[in-house]
């Protein structure tokens, strides 16, 4: 039986202002909770089925957090989704620390991406392609939103994010190649991507905003061959990063 204190806290963490107040967030689902346990995040509590506790918690050495048994029905009521297969965790947020872009490797920059599912998908794609730094404008969806965490499928544990004034951040990195996804520019399938840089992905409907565009040193686009009006920003990110890796970036 989950106590009223924990139940109230868990439910409150579905709302951004309470996540910020408590500096804590939710992780839902067995896979994501297991990835969380192997990460740098400090876990405060785990609520899970008896089977999950027996297989993954009670026999694990060095456990320093609370854990409580719960039924699947209780977990579904506690979480933000209608079904929850085995576990929910409460963890402490990491500090919003600046991420530096060095002479090697790529970082992503998200300019006003609003949909939490898209942000989570982009974290998962970044993880797949070995991108560990994601710079977010202040109006990009909160990385600790439960939908972002869920869509990332555990990749939030390996990809670091930093929320900031994006134009200001790019201004301080003027010497770094900065690529932006536009409806015009160089064909991503033919472009000679530099070995390191920042890739900016814009808002789902408006694209990269005018305040950010002046810092883009290379505009790239994904050519259209059929009749679809647009690509989802997550898919577009994957296409561009695949081409970055193809040419050795």
Query: Are both 118 and 230 inside the same structural domain?
Result: yes
The residues facing 203 across adjacent strands are 207
Residue 84's pLDDT is what? 60
Query: Are both 123 and 223 inside the same structural domain?
Result: yes
Residue 77's pLDDT is what? 85
Residue 21 in any domain: the answer is yes
Give the span between the Cα atoms of 181 and 112, in whole angstroms. 13
Whether 31 has a pLDDT exceeding 70, the answer reads yes
Give me the sign of the Cα torsion angle 236, 240, 243, 248: negative
Residue 97 in any domain: the answer is no
Whether 241 has a pLDDT exceeding 60, the answer reads yes
| Overall number of domains in the chain | 2
> pLDDT (tens digit, 9 = 90+) per residue, 182-193?
999 999 999 999
Query: Are both 120 and 73 inside the same structural domain?
Result: no
Give the span between the Cα atoms of 30 and 70, in whole angstroms. 13
Residue 249's pLDDT is what? 63
Q: 3: how many CB neighbours lie within 10 A of its CB?
A: 9
Whether 153 has a pLDDT exceeding 70, the answer reads yes
Give the span between the Cα atoms of 66 and 47, in whole angstroms. 9
Residue 99 in any domain: the answer is no
Whether 82 has a pLDDT exceeding 60, the answer reads no
Query: Are both 122 and 228 inside the same structural domain?
Result: yes
Q: What is the mean pLDDT of residues 112-116?
A: 98
**Tokens found for residue 4:** 């009223």
Query: Are both 109 and 207 inside the same structural domain?
Result: yes
Which range marks the domain in which residue 76 is found? 4-92
Share of the chain above pLDDT 70, in %: 98
Give the span between the Cα atoms of 112 and 58, in whole angstroms. 42
Query: Are both 110 and 228 inside the same structural domain?
Result: yes
CA 107 to chain centre: 13
Query: Are both 70 and 118 inside the same structural domain?
Result: no
Burial class (CB in 10 A: 0-12, 13-18, 19+), 113: buried
Residue 53 in any domain: the answer is yes
Model pTM score = 0.94
Residue 83's pLDDT is what? 57
Query: Are both 73 and 129 inside the same structural domain?
Result: no
> Using 50, 70 and 90 to split pLDDT, how confident is the model at 62?
confident
CATH code of the domain in which 184 resides: 3.40.1280.10
Closest C-alpha among 18, 125, 42 to residue 27: 42
Strands in 66-69's sheet, in edge-to-edge order, are: 24-28, 87-92, 43-48, 66-69
Instruction: State which of 63, 92, 121 marks the end of a domain.
Output: 92
Whether 157 has a pLDDT exceeding 70, the answer reads yes
Query: Are both 120 and 225 inside the same structural domain?
Result: yes
> Using 50, 70 and 90 to split pLDDT, how confident is the model at 174?
very high
Residue 27 in any domain: the answer is yes
Query: Are both 116 and 219 inside the same structural domain?
Result: yes
Closest C-alpha among 62, 64, 30 to residue 47: 30
């Amino acid at each position: 039986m989950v106590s009223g204190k924990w139940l109230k806290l868990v439910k409150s963490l579905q709302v951004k202002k309470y996540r910020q107040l408590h500096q804590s967030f939710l992780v839902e689902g067995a896979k994501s909770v297991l990835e969380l346990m192997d990460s740098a995040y400090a876990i405060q509590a785990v609520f899970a089925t008896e089977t999950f506790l027996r297989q993954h918690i009670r026999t694990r050495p060095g456990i320093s957090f609370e854990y409580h048994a719960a039924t699947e029905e209780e977990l579904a009521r506690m979480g933000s989704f209608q079904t929850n297969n085995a576990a929910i965790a409460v963890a402490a947020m990491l500090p919003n620390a600046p991420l530096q872009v060095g002479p090697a490797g790529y970082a992503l920059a998200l300019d006003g991406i609003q949909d939490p599912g898209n942000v989570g998908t982009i974290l998962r794609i970044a993880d797949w392609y070995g991108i560990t730094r994601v710079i977010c404008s202040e109006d990009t969806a909160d990385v600790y939103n439960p939908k972002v965490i869920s869509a990332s499928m555990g990749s939030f544990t390996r990809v670091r994010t930093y929320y900031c004034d994006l134009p200001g951040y790019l201004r301080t990195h003027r010497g770094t190649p900065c690529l932006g996804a536009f409806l015009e520019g160089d064909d991503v399938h033919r472009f000679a991507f530099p070995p390191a840089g920042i890739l900016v992905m814009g808002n789902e409907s408006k694209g990269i905003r005018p305040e950010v565009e002046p810092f883009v040193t290379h505009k790239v686009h994904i050519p259209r061959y059929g009749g679809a009006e647009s690509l989802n920003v997550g898919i577009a990110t994957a296409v561009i990063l695949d081409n970055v890796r193809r040419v050795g970036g």
